[in-house]
Amino acid sequence: MSTTNYAVLNTGQKMPLIGLGTWKSAPGEVKTAVENALKIGYRHVDCAAVYNNEAEIGDLFKEIIGVDKMVKREELFVTSKLWNTKHHPEDVEPACRKSLEDLKLTYLDLYLIHWPYAFKKGDSCFPKNPDGTMQYDNIDYKETWKAMERLVEKGLVKAIGLSNFNSQQINDVIAAATIKPAALQVECHPYLAQNELIGHCQKYGIIVTAYSPLGSSDRMWKAADEPVLLEDANIKTIANEHGKSPAQVLLRWQVQRGVVAIPKSVNAARIAQNLQVFDFALTEDEMKTVGNLNRNWRYIVPKIVVDNKSVFRDALHPHYPFNDPY
């Protein structure tokens, strides 16, 4: 049984296979959640400017990171992300520096372009038209990437990557890149297995990170009739076989195929449970059973209400990634 608990990026960095996600972790909760995680052995924290909680996480980092403190900086892997309103090249470095200032860090281990499409530049994270639709910008993400490369050259970040890009968009970036993407972060779980996209990334030495690996049942736009991944009968059966929880089976499936997973929780017991996936392995048949649950079901597609109808918020943007098969 492989107990290796990290993936190796194309930079040589070791990225822990299980990290703590912080999306939707409310101010007041997130500091305690990250502290609990680090106390029990997590060494990977996934952040983003738009989560609006980096300053609180930074308060904790200031308290516990240091030569003679709980965690040495070089032992911790921290990711952050460039938001959609900061895609213009001149905005990239200031946005990165703002995240560093909030997180009380001198460098990031990994910095991602959060989405391939841009919103209108400015200080509002979600600039909207009077009818509720988003105000977009058509800046090319390849220009944004060039500015990301400069962050590596300046020592502000150790590695750069992408989030929510499809295979063609990844190819576009690679073709224009001096520094190749080290990682891709996408929604990924057994109902959205992402096999083709993972295969594509492996071909180029890009590590894949799965966000919402447990199905993200606490989203704002959750539909009443959507399938609940944690209640899937096949997952429950496998969990019972191993004396593990359904969540642990979902996470084991990811790490066993070399995919990094960043489950979010603010519950201390679940945070601990989510890390306990290196003391068992799924059989080949169990891996197949879980893999066969794929139904290309996306939980994370932002929606807004226009003319009293719920619509995919960004589907008409030319850089919207989910119109292609993968």
User: For 133-190, how does the pLDDT look when each residue is reduced to its tens digit (9 = 90+)?
Assistant: 899 999 999 999 999 999 999 999 999 999 999 999 999 999 999 999 999 999 999 9
Query: Residue 59: which H helix or E strand, with range?
Result: helix 54-64
Backbone φ and ψ of 266, nearest 5°: -115, 5
pLDDT attached to residue 221: 52
Both structure tokens of 277: 């996936």
Comparing CA positions, the residue from 240, 299, 248 lying closest to residue 270 is: 248
pLDDT of 84 over the 90 cut: yes
What was the pLDDT predicted at 107?
98
Distance spanning both ends of the chain, measured CA to CA: 31
d(CA 124, CA 97): 18
**Which residue has better confidence, 311 or 139?**
139
Tell me: pLDDT of 222 over 80. no
The contacts of residue 74 (CB under 8 Å, 6+ apart) are none
- Least confident among 107-111, 252-256, 318-322: 318-322
Least confident among 16-30, 43-57, 76-90, 228-242: 16-30
Mean pLDDT of 119-142: 93
Predicted confidence (pLDDT) at residue 317 exceeds the cutoff of 60:
yes
Are 82 and 92 contacting, i.e. CB atoms less than 8 angstroms apart?
A: yes
pLDDT at 19: 97
The residues that are catalytic are 51
Neighbours of 27 (CB within 10 A): 12
pLDDT tens, position by position, 87-120: 999 999 999 999 999 999 999 999 999 999 999 9
Average the pLDDT over each of 67-81, 155-169, 309-323 and give the range with the smallest value.
Answer: 309-323
**Structure-model confidence comparison of residues 130 and 253, the more confident one:** 253
pLDDT at 2 over 50: no
Least confident residue range of 13-27, 31-45, 84-98, 113-127: 13-27
In this predicted structure, what is the pLDDT of residue 155? 98
